[in-house]
Amino acid sequence: MSYSKDTVSQVLNEFNSKRKRNEEERDERLVNVYAKIPELKSIDRALSLTGLQILGASLEGKDGLEERINKIKEENKALNEKRNALLLENGFSTDYTDMKFECDECKDQGYINGIMCQCLKRALITKQLESSGVGELILTQSFDNFSLDFYQGEDKKIMSDLVEDLRTYASEFPEKKANLLFVGGTGLGKTHLSTAIAKSLIEKGQSVIYETATNVFADFENDRFRDRYNGEEPISSKYMECDLLILDDLGTEVITNFTVSCLYNLINTRLNKKLPIILSTNLYSKEIRKLYNDRITSRLFGDFEIKLFKGTDIRKLK
């Protein structure tokens, strides 16, 4: 499991405020209940001293210790019974003043004996989905609802194989990793299948960023002009660190020396760190070679598996 620092700290902060809120709400209920049943306050005070009483009893020596402790326990039990009865008489449930947790397993701590609770895992996944850049698409686009109805003849066979191929890619990640280059015109399902991969990886706890080339290079550009000495991490560092980067619409960005060197740096850094990239483009190899320098094209055609998307623009057919 590898979530970005941002994701983890945001979720842990949310857990912190959840615990604070739990306490505040419990305190409010206590105020409410004490106002209606003043006697309960003295019972609670007495109950809160139980620990001290037991400590005191044990300091008195071993002789008759068990008896003394049993006596305290009896008194404690009686107080609790009294307390419950008073609550019920006044129309409250017996657990009215207990802490209420969203997760009873870990009591909203996020960990049980140092092991991450399911609720924290789910929260991390949800946060990761929100920050992946896939947004709403993730709700509707998956492998299961990718329709081959709009493909015909040989295209249908190619696309059906491709879907299975990418499904395997997603299921084997991160044990098996590869860089992919999605090539094909618009409306052939590149976005849908990219989203499907992002979704299944995020659900496995991998960090995925899905962003257009234009936006990624804009972030690099912003970093260039930001004050580097303010101690903040560059915005673009997330693109270097996530488990999978899906860079969409390569070739639609305004291509400058700067974006070309960013692209090379991005590909190179990630490849060195063994962090895969899925690049998606409408350009075919001739155009790629024309737009990008040899250093980039040799990386693209040497280190990426090329996946050709076939068919007629689905959006037009629909």
Total residues binding Zn ion (CB under 5 A): 5
Interface with Zn ion by CB under 5 A: which range of 68-76, 101-109, 141-149, 206-214?
A: 101-109
E-state strands within the chain: 111-112, 115-116, 179-183, 208-212, 244-250, 277-281, 304-308
- Are 280 and 247 in contact by the 8 Å Cβ rule? The answer is yes
Tell me: does residue 123 bind Zn ion (CB under 5 A).
Answer: no
- Under rule CB under 5 A, residue 129 binds Zn ion: no
Question: 139 to 158, contacts with Zn ion by CB under 5 A?
Answer: none
Which of these segments, 14-22, 105-113, 128-136, 151-159, binds Zn ion (CB under 5 A)?
105-113
Residue 28 found at the interface with Zn ion (CB under 5 A): no
Residue 232's closest CA among 223, 240, 243?
223
Nearer to Zn ion, 106 or 278 (CB): 106
Our finding on whether 267 is near Zn ion (CB under 5 A) is: no
Q: Does 105 bind Zn ion (CB under 5 A)?
A: yes
Residues 6+ apart with CB under 8 A from 12: 110
Which one of residues 11, 40, 87, 103 is an interface residue with Zn ion (CB under 5 A)? 103
Cα distance between residue 256 and residue 279, in whole Å? 18
Shortest distance in whole angstroms from residue 4 CB to Zn ion: 21
Closer of 117 and 263 to Zn ion (Cβ): 117
Task: Say whether residue 246 binds Zn ion (CB under 5 A).
Answer: no
- The least CB distance from residue 106 to Zn ion, in Å, is 3
Q: Which residues pair with 208 in a beta bridge?
A: 244
**Residue choice 119, 124, 197, 213 for contact with Zn ion (CB under 5 A):** 119
The β-bridge relationship of strands 277-281 and 179-183 is parallel
Q: Tell me which stretch binds Zn ion (CB under 5 A): 75-83, 98-106, 184-192, 310-318.
A: 98-106
Which one, 82 or 121, has the nearer CB to Zn ion? 121
Is residue 244 part of the contact set for Zn ion (CB under 5 A)? no
Phi, psi (degrees; rounded to nearest 5) at 4: -70, 155
CB of 119 to Zn ion, least distance (A): 3
Instruction: Return the range that interacts with Zn ion (CB under 5 A); candidates 45-53, 66-74, 118-126, 194-202.
Output: 118-126
Per-residue contact flags (x/-) with Zn ion for residues 173 to 212, judged by CB under 5 A: ----------------------------------------
Q: What is the DSSP letter of 249?
A: E
Q: For residues 111 and 258, which CB has a smaller minimum distance to Zn ion in the complex?
A: 111
Is 124 a binding residue for Zn ion by CB under 5 A? The answer is no
Give dist(CA 166, CA 57) in Å, integer.
68
Stretch that binds Zn ion, among 96-104, 150-158, 215-223, 279-287 (CB under 5 A): 96-104
Tokens representing residue 83 in the block: 């307390």
Cβ-count burial 106-119 (b if 16+ within 10 Å, e if not): bebebeeeeeebeb
DSSP assignments along 127-185, one per residue: HHHHHSS-TTHHHH--STT---TT--HHHHHHHHHHHHHHHHHHHHTTTS--EEEEE--
Q: Does 275 bind Zn ion (CB under 5 A)?
A: no
Cβ-based neighbours of 238, under 8 Å, separated by 6 or more: 4, 6, 209
CB 187 within 8 A of CB 225: no
- Amino acid identity, residue 249? D
C-beta of 105 vs 233, nearer to Zn ion: 105
Q: Which residues bind Zn ion (CB under 5 A)?
A: 103, 105-106, 117, 119
